[in-house]
Amino acid sequence: MRLFKMVFLLVLGVGATGAAAQPTLPPQEKLEALDTRMQEFLATHNIPGGLVAVASRGKILHLKSYGMANVELAVPVSEKTVFEIGSISKQFVSAAAMLLVEEGKLKLDDSIHTILPYLPSEWIGVTMGQLLNHTSGIPDYEEIRSYDAYRFRMTPEEIIKIAQSRPVDFAPGQGWYYSNTGYYLASMVLERIEGKPLGRVLQDRIFGPLGMIHTRLADPEAIIPGRAAGYWVNKVNVLINRNPTETSSTLGAGGLLSNAGDLAKWDAALYRDDFLSAASKAAMWSPTILPSGENTGYGFGWSVTPYKGLASQHHSGQVAGFTAFFDRFPDQEVAIIVFLNRYLIRGRIKGAVLDTFLTGASADD
């Protein structure tokens, strides 16, 4: 049996007695190698700018910015730059849902028709929990309409009509398929219970209490200080401005923006049981097991597959103009954040970032 010895170079290394050590950075040559790798990656893939940050319990231990937040105005990326985070938004919807569960305002196994009775009859039996762990069987409206769905202001009725245009993927709870429709509907459930728009729900429940002053819905018409411009490339790989994402067409499926400092605060709050109970976090971070016995590796708004033997809670985010990664390693008390202001990047960089701070070596068989 092959074992992996994991040496965490960044924080909380464990000695022979199991005692936690003080945070230490990797050797300078490793940081310089990552810096070179990042610059080459951005240049090779025509990415205007990016940021890599590592945090531990709210403290930024390492932050490096690259390139331009706005190419036309020649504004560089800085530690305060705000990026759209795409599907990382889903974990905030799931956290808000769990807060309502704790207050007895919501039950994960209740049918969503008890809250949104006008939903199509084909979706009867779907529960809030199934929306959050992608086992509802409700088709993904993004897959049906493509990313064009996000370019236009659409009403909930229009989103529902798109998703209803295709038969359900499977009976509720019988399979797993990533569905942005689930998180759009979950956002609507939060709005109905709280009696206010999703942006206000998340502000009142999460962002305000945690001091996350740079995190909000990415309304394209709003004046948002420090907002990075988003880009993609045309058919001949020329950089072009992206079409903005309309928040009415995304809600909590992928409509938020944030910065490194705010995600560090979010990571820190998840170690506290006074913000979200231990039971709620256990529910969010428990992998969904299907009736077939298959482990989906997904909880509520989080992927929970390990990374080289280390427990990890993570999610990527892609939305027109942006790519983001947020990976937590709870046993090591570290979160790693990567932002890029280009969409549809074919190359990979997250592994290089993780491996700079997580060094794995194979032991003898």
| Domain regions of the chain by residue span | 50-347
Note the pLDDT tens digit of each residue in 140-175: 999 999 878 898 999 999 999 999 999 999 999 999
Single-letter amino acid code for the residue at 219: D
pLDDT tier at 24, thresholds 50, 70, 90: low
pLDDT at 22 over 50: no
pLDDT tier at 224, thresholds 50, 70, 90: very high
pLDDT at 14 over 50: no
Task: Show the tokens assigned to 231.
Answer: 């880009």
Q: How far apart are CA 30 and CA 34, in angstroms?
A: 6
Q: How far apart are CA 13 and CA 108, in angstroms?
A: 37
Question: If you average pLDDT over every residue of the chain, what do you get?
Answer: 91
Report the pLDDT value the prediction gives residue 25, as an integer from 0 to 100: 78
Single-letter amino acid code for the residue at 98: M
pLDDT at 90 over 60: yes
Note the pLDDT tens digit of each residue in 110-146: 999 999 999 999 999 999 999 999 999 999 999 999 8
Q: How far apart are CA 195 and CA 35, in angstroms?
A: 47
Note the pLDDT tens digit of each residue in 35-54: 999 999 999 999 999 999 99
Q: How far apart are CA 197 and CA 335, in angstroms?
A: 30
Report the pLDDT value the prediction gives residue 19, as an integer from 0 to 100: 35
Q: Which of 284, 243, 72 is nearest to 146 (CA)?
A: 243
Lowest mean pLDDT among 2-16, 209-223, 231-245, 287-301: 2-16
Q: Are strands 231-233 and 239-241 parallel, antiparallel or unpaired?
A: antiparallel
Which helix H or strand E contains 228, and what residues bound it?
Answer: none
What does the pLDDT average to over 245-264?
Answer: 97
pLDDT tier at 31, thresholds 50, 70, 90: very high
pLDDT tier at 347, thresholds 50, 70, 90: confident
pLDDT at 365 over 70: no
Domain at 50-347: CATH architecture: 3-Layer(aba) Sandwich (3.40)
Q: What are phi and psi of 256, to 5 degrees?
A: -100, 160
State the DSSP string of 154-201. Answer: --HHHHHHHHHTS--SSSTTS-----HHHHHHHHHHHHHHHTS-HHHH
pLDDT at 361 over 70: no
Beta-carbon count within 10 A of 134 CB? 25
pLDDT at 332 over 50: yes
The rounded percent of the chain whose pLDDT value lies above 90 is: 88
Report the pLDDT value the prediction gives residue 362, as an integer from 0 to 100: 26
Report the pLDDT value the prediction gives residue 8, as an integer from 0 to 100: 36
pLDDT tier at 346, thresholds 50, 70, 90: confident
pLDDT at 188 over 60: yes
Lowest mean pLDDT among 17-26, 29-38, 215-224, 325-334: 17-26
Give the pTM. Answer: 0.92
